[in-house]
Structure 1
Amino acid sequence: MNQPIDEKAVRPERGRAGLLKTVLVSLMIVLVGFALIWLIFSTEPTATRKDTARETAMLVDVQSVNRGRFTPIVEVMGQVVPSRQITLGSRVSGEVIRQTDAFTPGRRVEEGTELLRIDPADFEATLQQRRSELQQAKADFELEQGQQVVARQEFELLGDDIAAVNDALILREPQLKQAKARVAGAEAAVKQAELDLARTRIRAPFPAQVLSREVSLGSQVSTGQSLGRLAGTGQYWVEATVPLSRLRWLTFTSDPETSGAPVTLHHDTVWPAGQTREGRLAQLVGELDDNARMARVLITVEDPLALDRAEGKPPMILGGFVRAEIQGRPLDNVVRIERDLVRRNNTVWVMEERQLAIRDVEIAFRDNDYAYIQAGLEHGDQVITNDLSSVVSGARLRLEGDGDE
């Protein structure tokens, strides 16, 4: 007689078998994965290094320098001002009856050009009266001379001795002196009247440009009243400001007949490209500029309005600001290089036997374009002109055309 199977005893056995199967499958999957990874890495192509790393010399540009005598440039800014300017005034009173077209702001006038005329009627009448008084005084003088002749004749006829003190009175010498003085006074009055009449015509005292006009036709003017402003056209000044530290590099002359240092003037925003004007350094003004606290110097420019058209110069404008390049005192036995070639801490890069050398230099002067080296560079040194990515003393260098080493 068969006994029944106990299902409760069989279930644990099946469960253990299933778990063992799952573990084995998972282990096999992991092993296969590791095998695939090993196969991939073992069959990957490897990079082989054919050449070893080598040091390449830096490509540079150089320029040879020379010692010599150079003239530095001191660049400053200045304002154009008239060297000769007047306020035209009236020396007589009256009504303006004529105004010429030349008396217009901006016009140029020659010396002696009539600008205004004041009504001369009163002055002509005064002159006529003074001339009549002069004729009367001369007639009185001639009559007194006749009286003196008569007195001398009567004195001689008397034949008596008269004290010397009464001699002059008898001969009417005081009366003759009075008549002579009246003639002189009348002549002076005529001259004054002629001057007043001439002053009714207002003329330009020198070649000038009219800057302003303050009266017009029909205006009533009085003695001393301002009529307008004139600026001489023969010469302008450029009043420039210079740092005090650079004054020692400028040369001034105390002789007005001697020309100062040459100056080149630029008005970049006004004049055509490349056009300049020439001037001369004239004088150091003994006063500092109120705003910048710098020294003031005067630069003279002849023919500022370029009236001589043959030379093709640009005209200068009063009140304009120009850039002035003043030639300084020459420097002897120095090396001149572009100022950008002076590196940090006043050093210069030099190529020595295809290697980089960093030189400390002593700078005598530095202007806007150049540096003037007093010590640290010698004649024939090759200065590196381009920038380098790595600056190490002794680094290898090469020039264009040398090829790689």
Structure 2
Amino acid sequence: MNDAPSKPTSIKLKVLQFLATAIVCLTILGVSVATIVVINQTEPKAQQIEATRKSAAIVETVTVEKGTYAPTLVVLGTVQAAQEITLSPRVNGQVVSMSPKFVPGGMVKTGDFLLQIDPADFENTISMRESELQQAVALLDIERGRQSLAKKELALLEGTIDEANRALVLREPQYESIQAEVNAAKAAIERARLDLKRTSIAAPFDAQILERSVNVGSQVSPSEDLARLVGVDEYWIMASVPVRSLKWIQFPEHDGRSSLVTLRDPDTWPSGVERYASVARMIGSLDQQTRLARVLIVVADPLAMKSDVPPLILDTLIETHIEGRPIENVVRLKREFVHNRDTVWVMKDDKLEIRETSVVFRDAKYAYIDEGLESGDEVVTTTLATVATGIGLKKMDASPEPQSEESQE
């Protein structure tokens, strides 16, 4: 009976505890919400700033001018002899002497003595032919005496000899036969003297000895080679040129003027050394292997005997820079400044402008432009990372402008 009143009291306590816990939780929640609201209302607000940076790519430019320019064709050429012979004797015999100049690399002038073939046999032949001539002349004198007697006899028989037998009586056939023997003897002497003269062999023109195939004591005949000689007055250079480039070369047979040629051999000659030549003519056929046209270039004094320049060496490859016909009213621009599809970067009003151009001709260094550029245009020569029409540009030599920022809230 004593436990009955204690049960309601326990329930009240639990209710009170629950209410107290709920009040505490609500109080904490309310304080947290109030704190968040206060923080949100009292924190500083960020201000949005829109900034625009004024900058431009720094570039170098070149100002172009329209004018008349001559392109240069750079091709390889082969050095050849303009005059070359293989020297052979015209008589048989033994070589008895030679000139000290008659050696490979030796230089000789026209008429210089080269070698001597033994003349003894030819001198004996002349003596024999002279004896034969003397004998024929003696027979001719005898025949003249016989003719004189025949004329006297004919005078006694005048009127009894017909005209057909008159020549026989006067021994005219015998006289003509002996006269022919005299003439043949004289011709034999001239031939013997000519053979004797041919035993001494001289240079046929100013030449350099490239090869020699005999020595003193060699037995030679007209079928054998004595030496190989090349003329030193001029050399030829055979240059291979693309067919499409022929129209830019001046040939003398067309208008009397020929393109000048500059020769360079950087592998052999000192730095900066050049030689000069001229275009002579076009060879009327293509090279069968390269399908290129061949142009003949003439070089005077190739061995530099009259000047202080390097000599040319036969059969070598050499750079030939052929000056082409002048091209009028064009801009000449270095090839590296012409970009894809023949476009050129132009700086106009401090902005990039991409120009399409018409290239008339390209040589090894320049492009020749007849449309798309005008005198005074500034072509950008600096490589740009970003290429687009309208981007800002600034010359490298211009004074730098301070960068600025414009802000808006």
Match of 1:333 among 329, 336, 356: 329
Q: Partners of 1:183 and 1:48 in 2: how far apart?
A: 135
Count of matched residue pairs: 356
* One-letter code aligned to 2:122: F
Shift of 1:251: 2.2
Identity rate of aligned residues, in percent? 44
Q: TM-score, normalised by structure 2?
A: 0.82
The structure with more radius of gyration:
2
> Which ranges of structure 1 fall in alignment gaps of 5 or more residues?
1-46
Q: Which is worse superposed, 179-188 or 362-371? A: 179-188
SS in 2 for 1:395: coil
RMSD: 2.2
Q: Partners of 1:395 and 1:145 in 2: how far apart?
A: 117
Task: Write out per-residue CA displacement over residues 303-339 of structure 1, whole angstroms, 9 at most, x where no aligned residue.
Answer: 111111xx32221111221100111122122111111
Are 1:238 and 1:300, in contact at CA under 8 Å, matched by a contact in 2?
yes
Instruction: Show the counterpart of 1:88.
Output: 87
SS in 2 for 1:97: strand
Summarize the Cα distance change of 1:213–1:48 in structure 2 as closer, same or farther, 3 Å threshold: farther
Instruction: Show the counterpart of 2:376.
Output: 380
Instruction: Show the counterpart of 2:354.
Output: 358
Task: Write out per-residue CA displacement over residues 276-295 of structure 1, whole angstroms, 9 at most, x where no aligned residue.
Answer: 11111112122322432212
* One-letter code aligned to 1:188: A
Matched, 1:289 2:287: yes
Q: Partners of 1:181 and 1:259 in 2: how far apart?
A: 59
Q: Partners of 1:153 and 1:161 in 2: how far apart?
A: 14
Shift of 1:359: 0.7
SS in 2 for 1:299: strand
* One-letter code aligned to 1:244: V
* One-letter code aligned to 1:397: L
Q: Partners of 1:48 and 1:152 in 2: how far apart?
A: 154
Matched, 1:323 2:322: no
Are 2:251 and 2:257, in contact at CA under 8 Å, matched by a contact in 1?
no
Q: Partners of 1:48 and 1:92 in 2: how far apart?
A: 115
Match of 1:301 among 299, 302, 306: 299
Shift of 1:259: 5.8
Q: Partners of 2:166 and 2:48 in 1: how far apart?
A: 143
Q: TM-score, normalised by structure 1?
A: 0.83
Shift of 1:210: 0.5
Q: Partners of 1:396 and 1:65 in 2: how far apart?
A: 21
Instruction: Show the counterpart of 2:8.
Output: none
Q: Partners of 2:76 and 2:47 in 1: how far apart?
A: 67
Instruction: Show the counterpart of 1:213.
Output: 212
Summarize the Cα distance change of 1:48–1:226 in structure 2 as closer, same or farther, 3 Å threshold: farther
Q: Which is worse superposed, 167-176 or 113-122? A: 167-176
Are 1:67 and 1:379, in contact at CA under 8 Å, matched by a contact in 2?
yes
SS in 1 for 2:341: coil
Q: Partners of 2:147 and 2:212 in 1: how far apart?
A: 59
Q: Partners of 2:124 and 2:47 in 1: how far apart?
A: 122
Q: Partners of 1:49 and 1:401 in 2: how far apart?
A: 35
SS in 2 for 1:69: strand
* One-letter code aligned to 1:199: R
